[in-house]
Amino acid sequence: MFYWDHAASTPPYEDVIRTIAEVMEQHYGNPSSMHQWGEDSSRLIKHAREVCSRALDVKPSEIIFTSGATEGNNLAIKGATLQYMNRGKHLITTQIEHASVYESFQQLQQWGFEVTFLPVDSQGCVDPASIREAIRKDTVLVSIMHVNNEIGAIQPIEAIGDMIKRCNPRTIFHVDGVQGFGKLPVDLTKWQVDLYTLSAHKFRGPKGIGLLYVREGLKLTPILTGGAQESGLRAGTENVPLIVALAKAMRKASEQQESFNSNVSTMRDQIHTTIQEIKGLKLHSHDGSAPHIVHFSYPGMKSEVLLHTLEEQGILVSTRSACSSKQSEPSRVLLSMGLSIEEASSGIRISMGDMHTEDELRLLQQALRISVEQLEPLQRGRMG
């Protein structure tokens, strides 16, 4: 099988896997324990926090370890909104956020907050001017993702941060950075970001661990209570092996960001060319979108059918983000971009790591051609 679903999850680095086993075997003391073994574990977390903070060019005290980006996004959005609700009841996000962001806002709506879900253009991008129109004196928080997980659209985060802070300096800016880190440059200070979420399994770390950057001075109402861990923001015994592994993967991903970007962009361009050559396919990602995500649709053919036809040839891809791939409705992201229901029901995402060989790429291109050839009579019947 050939794996082309790296935006859903990437294979952990071998030394990251070894690190997890080593820390589990050798450092199982509870970091909150006062004896030496507890202190050993606590020191490992301290070091990991320093490594992560260096990768983001922020202070160690601004890093909060979480169980992943779903938790990080929930903590950032609900934690900041509840903490600062004396400032107002208005919130802004987009129509194309990951479910962990989108549904956090839906829950806040049920709790009485007013949410503006900004639209995107045909390339999946938010216009910073739409923030100027939407933002108010009582806007507590704006949350915009860096890179969309389905179509790879890159949001103009710096311009958005600038717009938010010029319109209302008190409005908190949260960025879901999950699909951008390790692929594109990140500059939280320049972007004027207050809260930034990451997940390790998107950059060759383990699943079940992530972090939330919380700008110094910003307070959050914790979502998980019952312990003083993580500066009181995230109760529960720390997962020391995964925290150490996260830091290791993060350092590598940040050091290798430029080479990752140039390796996968070249491959992405070649896949784009193939898709454009195949009659019936419609490309939605482009040269200016994230280097590791290719997205296209085969209008008239349900995504799952093409996915399984590709799988029969040993190619593993995705219909959309892993979290919502089992839903049967058309993609919310594609509909927001103005695509028809037919197009939004037939999307396929190919996402890359930087370890694919030329032969693997050729097999993928061949499998795409063969699959569409096989399905064409069926598709013609449906479209006709």
Residues that bind ligand PLP (CB under 6 A): 68-70, 73, 98, 100, 145, 149, 176, 178-179, 199, 210, 321-323
Q: Which is nearer to ligand PLP, 173 or 274 (CB)?
A: 173
Rounded to a whole number of angstroms, the minimum distance from the CB of residue 143 to ligand PLP is 11
Q: Which is nearer to ligand PLP, 145 or 306 (CB)?
A: 145
How many Cβ atoms sit within 10 Å of the Cβ of residue 47? 14
Rounded to a whole number of angstroms, the minimum distance from the CB of residue 151 to ligand PLP is 12
Q: Which is nearer to ligand PLP, 164 or 178 (CB)?
A: 178
Catalytic residue at 323?
A: yes
Distances (CA, A) of 383 to 278, 295, 310: 17, 21, 21
Q: Which is nearer to ligand PLP, 124 or 210 (CB)?
A: 210
Rounded to whole angstroms, the Cα distance separating 120 from 289 reads 14
Task: Measure CA 37 to chain center.
Answer: 35
Query: According to DSSP H, which parts of 168-238 are helical?
Result: 188-191
Rounded to a whole number of angstroms, the minimum distance from the CB of residue 150 to ligand PLP is 8
What angle is formed at CA 300 by the lines to CA 294 and CA 305, rounded to 5 degrees? 65
Q: How many residues does the chain have?
A: 384
Rounded to a whole number of angstroms, the minimum distance from the CB of residue 40 to ligand PLP is 27
Which residue from 116, 99, 83 is spatially nearest to 323, judged by alpha carbons?
A: 99
Rounded to a whole number of angstroms, the minimum distance from the CB of residue 37 to ligand PLP is 29
Q: Which is nearer to ligand PLP, 70 or 289 (CB)?
A: 70
Please identify which residue in the block is written with the tokens 């977390």. 45
Rounded to a whole number of angstroms, the minimum distance from the CB of residue 347 to ligand PLP is 15
Rounded to a whole number of angstroms, the minimum distance from the CB of residue 197 to ligand PLP is 7
**Are β-strands 210-214 and 195-199 bridged in parallel, bridged antiparallel, or unpaired?**
antiparallel
Instruction: Name the residue whose CB lies closest to ligand PLP.
Output: 68
Q: Which is nearer to ligand PLP, 8 or 281 (CB)?
A: 8
Tokens of 41: 């574990």
Q: Which is nearer to ligand PLP, 260 or 300 (CB)?
A: 260
Tokens of 360: 């693997």
Rounded to whole angstroms, the Cα distance separating 89 from 102 reads 17
Please identify which residue in the block is written with the tokens 């979108």. 289
Rounded to whole angstroms, the Cα distance separating 22 from 273 reads 45
Rounded to whole angstroms, the Cα distance separating 346 from 332 reads 12
| DSSP sequence for 265-325 | HHHHHHHHHHHHHSTT-EE---TTS-TTEEEEE-TTS-HHHHHHHHHHTTEE-BSS-GGGT
Task: Point out the catalytic residue in the list 52, 125, 167, 323.
Answer: 323
SS3 call for 82: helix
Which positions are catalytic? Answer: 323
